[in-house]
Amino acid sequence: MTVHTPKLAASESAAATSAAENSWLAEDSQATQAPPTVEEARKFTDDAENRWLNLIIKASRAQWVQETFITPDTEQIAADADQQVKALVSELAAQSRRFDGMQLPEDVARKLKLIKLSVDIPAPHNPKESAELSQINASLQSDYGKGKWCPDGPAGKCLALNDLEHIMSTSRDPVELEKAWAGWHAIAPPMKARYSRMVELANDGAREMGFADVGAMWRSNYDMKPDEFSAELDRLWTQVRPLYVSLHAYVRNQLLKKYGPSVIPPDGEIPAHLLGNMWAQDWANIYPLVAPPNADPGYDLSEILKAKKVEPLAMVHYGESFFKSLGFAPLPATFWERSMFVKPRDREVVCHASAWDIDYVDDLRIKMCIEQTGEDFSTIHHELGHNFYQRAYDTQPPLFRNSANDGFHEAIGDTIALSVTPAYLRQIGLLENVPPESSDLGLLMHKALEKVAFLPFGLMIDKWRWEVFSGKISPAEYNQRWWELRKQYQGVAPPVARSEADFDPGAKYHVAANVPYARYFLADILQFQFHRALCREAGYKGPLNRCSIYNNTAAGARLNKMLEMGQSRPWPEALEAMTGEKQMDATAIIDYFAPLKKWLDEQNARDGAKLDW
Ligand code: X8Z
Ligand code: ZN
């Protein structure tokens, strides 16, 4: 393993910490000094990014250990390392103010901006408060990872999230589903007080750096003004909403046939426990209930993986092979040695899938509790997309080792997964026969349950958090507002009565772990735009759902052109490098699903299904 990034000696990093504690003093004394030069600004950013890299690597290692072995000790070690990073970032942000208003070379100005945005949850300068913040965050993350529902009390058998997700995806018994749903959501109320304290502390940190609040800070990371970014999201949502509404109406009608009007309101919100997923964010598991007649694709990837005994490790190898077929180098040996692929039997871990680049060079890893399902086959591609992106930008300066915007990071692996077509599955020996074109409708329905159903969920999470961070809603309104937004955007309702004693947002990983979420909404749209561009590069002419770029090194080279830029340039330039387009554009996802949309509209008209809720 090569680490070509200069690291600081221990004594230098100790000096960095004490400077952090005195940063306000340092800043005051600078006010009387001569104005800084461009060279000084460049030297500042060079030093800053190397100090930052040094600490972020230490924090990544600590976090890896915490998430793969949750104990009070690993939680504290991770919190301490996180506090160091946050302290450095707030120190650097304060010091960088002396370059405000200067005409600087673009790369230097960009780094000065990115350093402030390099932590999702910024800490206030006060060391006591910043320690409290890091501890809260580590404990929320651990609580989520350890979350269980024990139907017969703590002495009886307890169900972890993967057990409950299994029930959500396979059971068709509304009572059993309701219990599993409520059981999981019961992990969250103890998080609420810490969550609202976290909001106060992180907002203080964001304000010290000059942002209105944490939400405004998150929206500042898209090479446009925060308000412009909100408008951009709404523009994209307006483009795709009619597609979602058609799908929602059709699915509700099918569920009505299955469960009857006592369970499904014919023209209201769909109860959130009947959509095959704990958060009603991906509906693919209820495909059998809504499958279009006479369009059966004739295969189920989960069944194939089980029948062919494709073990989790082999599933990851299939994913890696796809990237290799595009011309990417194999993953390093350490990836296979250090990743966590299955849920350990003997310790608590955070099962939520993630991809890591521990040393910001090539210590790439994934952490997953892989099961033999088509869903996890896709998630493996998703995670590997992160790893191949990370490696493609590893020669950029440290602060540019990131995706063009965070939606790009989330979209790469999913773009590849769109190429997992029946023809591809046959090429790799997992499927005997490619289904006829008449089954495309079934395949499109399956994909829509995954991708179209997700869109409003991808949007509403941060709509909620932005209001939380801006203070528009108080802790006394958290849960009510959560369900208002769930209703408004998704058209889903809670299965059982809720109150402010509940904290349903905390039962979603990204809220407990403070991972911004608008990125997944963007990725859901971008991945189709990327897929369209890569299929074009491959010279493909047919319908987008049948295109696979497997083995196409021209498409791979085109993809790499964007990946290797990292975050060195504003995202529209990266988008242009790959697609020739400068705007995020929902026409690709709309075109992809156009035949399904037509069919859904016909069914809804025939059945007199009401649109909306
Ligand atoms: O969190 C993820 C990935 C890891 S970045 C597995 N996703 C979101 C979720 O699970 O809520 C992928 C789709 C949306
Ligand atoms: Zn991801």
- Catalytic residue of the set 185, 273, 386, 531: 386
- Catalytic residue of the set 352, 381, 409, 446: 352
- Whether the pLDDT of residue 2 is over 70: the answer is no
Rounded to the nearest angstrom, the gap between the alpha carbon of residue 543 and the centroid of all alpha carbons in its chain is 28
Q: Work out the pLDDT band at 102, boundaries 50, 70, 90.
A: very high
Calculate how far, in angstroms, residue 517's C-alpha sits from the geometric centre of ligand 1. 9
Q: Average of pLDDT values for 556-566?
A: 98
Ion ligand 2: residues, CB < 5 A = 410
CA distance to 79, 139, 198, 237, 353, per residue, from 72 (Å): 10, 9, 19, 42, 22
Q: Are 574 and 404 in contact (CB under 8 A)?
A: yes
pTM: 0.94
Q: Average of pLDDT values for 113-131?
A: 96
For residue 508, the ligand closest to its alpha carbon is 1
Calculate how far, in angstroms, residue 350's C-alpha sits from the geometric centre of ligand 1. 13
Q: Are 125 and 95 in contact (CB under 8 A)?
A: no
Phi, psi for 15 (deg, rounded to 5): -60, -40
pLDDT value for 7: 27
Tell me the per-residue pLDDT of 188-223, one tens digit each, with 9 for 90 and over: 999 999 999 999 999 999 999 999 999 999 999 999
Domain ranges of the chain: 2-144
Q: Has 446 been annotated as catalytic?
A: no
Helix 38-68 with 72-96: angle, nearest 10 deg: 170
Q: How many CB atoms lie within 10 A of CB 195?
A: 21
Calculate how far, in angstroms, residue 96's C-alpha sits from the geometric centre of ligand 2. 31
Q: Average of pLDDT values for 33-43?
A: 93
pLDDT value for 5: 30
Calculate how far, in angstroms, residue 504's C-alpha sits from the geometric centre of ligand 1. 18
Rounded to an integer, what distance in angstroms lies between the CA atom of residue 145 and that of residue 168?
18
pLDDT value for 85: 97
Shortest CA distance to 494 belongs to which of 502, 483, 485?
A: 483
Tell me the per-residue pLDDT of 486-541, one tens digit each, with 9 for 90 and over: 999 999 999 999 999 999 999 999 999 999 999 999 999 999 999 999 999 999 99
pLDDT above 70 covers what percent of the chain?
A: 95
User: Dihedral sign, CA of 80, 82, 86, 89?
Assistant: positive
pLDDT value for 32: 59
DSSP element (H, E) containing 364: strand 364-367
- Whether the pLDDT of residue 11 is over 80: the answer is no
Overall size of the chain counted in residues: 613
Q: Has 244 been annotated as catalytic?
A: no
For residue 516, the ligand closest to its alpha carbon is 1
Q: How many CB atoms lie within 10 A of CB 423?
A: 15
Beta partners for residue 355, in sequence order: 366
| 604, 609, 610, 613: CA torsion to nearest 10 | -100
List, chain by chain if needed, residues with CB within 6 Å of any ligand 1 atom: 353-354, 379, 382, 520
| Max CA separation in the chain (angstroms) | 79
- Whether the pLDDT of residue 9 is over 90: the answer is no
Q: Has 410 been annotated as catalytic?
A: yes
* Ligand 1 mutation target, pool 357, 375, 382, most atoms within 8 A of CB: 382
* Pairing state between β 354-357 and 364-367: antiparallel
